[in-house]
Amino acid sequence: MRSIWNGAISFGLVSIPIKLVNATESHSISFRQIHVTDGGRVRYRKVCELDGEEVSTDEIGKGYEEADGSIVPITDEDLARLPIATAKTIEIVSFVPADQIDPLQMDSAYYLAANGATAAKPYTLLREALKRSRKVAIAKFALRGRERLGMLRVVDDVIAMHGLLWPDEIRAPEGVAPEASVSVREAELDLADALMATLGEVEISSLQDEYREAVEAMITAKAGGAFEPSEAVVEPAGGQVIDLMAALENSVRAARASRGGDGGGGEAEVTPIRRKAAAPAGGSPKAVGGKKSTAAGARKGAEGAKKAAAKSTSKAAASKSAAKKAASGAGGAKKAAAVAKKAAPRKRSSA
């Protein structure tokens, strides 16, 4: 990856030569402006207001416009001579827990690569120190003509830096929250919790930009002359919610159905909450009854198997007992024969 900035990390008295590399890239599809009548490309031309002539990129510089409209020219040399330490240095100023950083401050992300063999040891030292402390480093650096805040953290085996907006660049959320006073019932919160639990978690890497894929497919089809425009199905929006509880319940059912849970996969509708009353006896007990008879049959089958196993065990025990008795009888007969043999008179041999 190509570096966009070379400098060093200032970590106390330790200096770590690094290269700054973009950590993100945009996959959005860019369009050109064309003349609708004939399809010709419409281009922007940079023209000097004083002489009316088109100016090339090499002839364009920077300038600051004063309140009266006058322009103060600013050169790259002027910016390079500014008396700030962060012109070529990412200066670490503190280490803080990561949860102290407001996500609203997050800006562009970069990878910091060790620049040269001598940078490997101090780079690894800072990386491992960040890992062990479980903190992030807050730093100041200058990039593209302005000084910025940064947050350094470890991603795998690389030090990454997130540009941070300055605190005064975060606008206060005045007038954004609903002005009306609204109370939320515990039952509604319980259903919201159930919906959150049903939706569960998702692997961010599994998500994809379906809009971009559809645009690419459309461009391919139009380029091949086989594009047939179809009417997009747009869900009605902005309608008034009739019953928040019913909407939450339907949302939970729809989420469970989409994830393979119980219930059908039909479209959820917002209906009045009166449907929660006790259902009539002739409603839909057939499906429930079928489940009960199935369960009863399963229980009977289990009991029959249990009885058969008990009989088998009893027969085995009886066979074992009979074998013991037989063995005992055989042992008794053997003992009687031995006693009789001893009691019998011995024949004397003749002289």
Cα separations in angstroms, 27 against 54, 114, 205, 215, 217: 32, 27, 15, 12, 15
Asked whether the predicted pLDDT for residue 294 surpasses 70, the reply is no
- pTM reported for the whole predicted model: 0.59
Compute the distance between CA of residue 15 and CA of residue 7 in angstroms, rounded to an integer.
Answer: 10
Give residue 272's pLDDT band: very low, low, confident or very high (50, 70, 90).
very low
Rank 89-98, 199-208, 211-220 by mean pLDDT and report only the highest. 89-98
Q: State the CB neighbour count (10 A cutoff) for residue 251.
A: 18
User: According to the model, what pLDDT value does residue 202 have?
Assistant: 79
Checking DSSP bridges between strand 62-65 and strand 89-97, what pairing results, if any? unpaired
Give residue 291's pLDDT band: very low, low, confident or very high (50, 70, 90).
very low
Asked whether the predicted pLDDT for residue 305 surpasses 80, the reply is no
Q: What are the pLDDT digits (tens) for 181-197?
A: 889 899 989 999 988 88
User: According to the model, what pLDDT value does residue 144 have?
Assistant: 78
Compute the distance between CA of residue 14 and CA of residue 278 in angstroms, rounded to an integer.
Answer: 74
Counting every residue, how long is the chain?
351
Which residues sit opposite 155 in a β-bridge? 158
Instruction: Please give the full DSSP string across 137-190, using - where no structure is assigned.
Output: EEEEEEETTEEEEEEEEEETTEEEEEEE--GGGSPP-TTTS-SS-----HHHHH
Q: What are the pLDDT digits (tens) for 315-347?
A: 545 444 544 444 444 454 445 444 444 444 444
Place of tokens 């919160």: 189
Rank 214-223, 252-261, 297-306 by mean pLDDT and report only the highest. 214-223
State the amino acid at position 197 in one-letter form.
A
Q: What are the pLDDT digits (tens) for 235-250?
A: 655 555 557 788 888 8
State the amino acid at position 140 in one-letter form.
K
As to burial, measured by CB atoms within 10 angstroms (0-12 exposed, 13-18 middle, 19+ buried), residue 163 is middle
Here the tokens at position 238 are 């902005």
Compute the distance between CA of residue 80 and CA of residue 83 in angstroms, rounded to an integer.
Answer: 9
Here the tokens at position 191 are 């259903």
As to burial, measured by CB atoms within 10 angstroms (0-12 exposed, 13-18 middle, 19+ buried), residue 246 is buried
Compute the distance between CA of residue 139 and CA of residue 91 in angstroms, rounded to an integer.
Answer: 5
Q: What are the pLDDT digits (tens) for 150-176?
A: 999 999 999 999 999 999 999 999 988
Give residue 121's pLDDT band: very low, low, confident or very high (50, 70, 90).
very high
Three-state secondary structure call for residue 311? helix
* Strand segments (E) across the chain: 3-11, 14-22, 62-65, 71-74, 89-97, 106-114, 135-143, 146-155, 158-164
Radius of gyration of the chain (CA): 42
Asked whether the predicted pLDDT for residue 213 surpasses 50, the reply is yes
Calculate the average pLDDT of the chain.
77
Here the tokens at position 64 are 């600051």
User: According to the model, what pLDDT value does residue 168 have?
Assistant: 92
Give the dihedral of Cα atoms 186, 190, 196, 200; nearest 10 deg.
Answer: 150
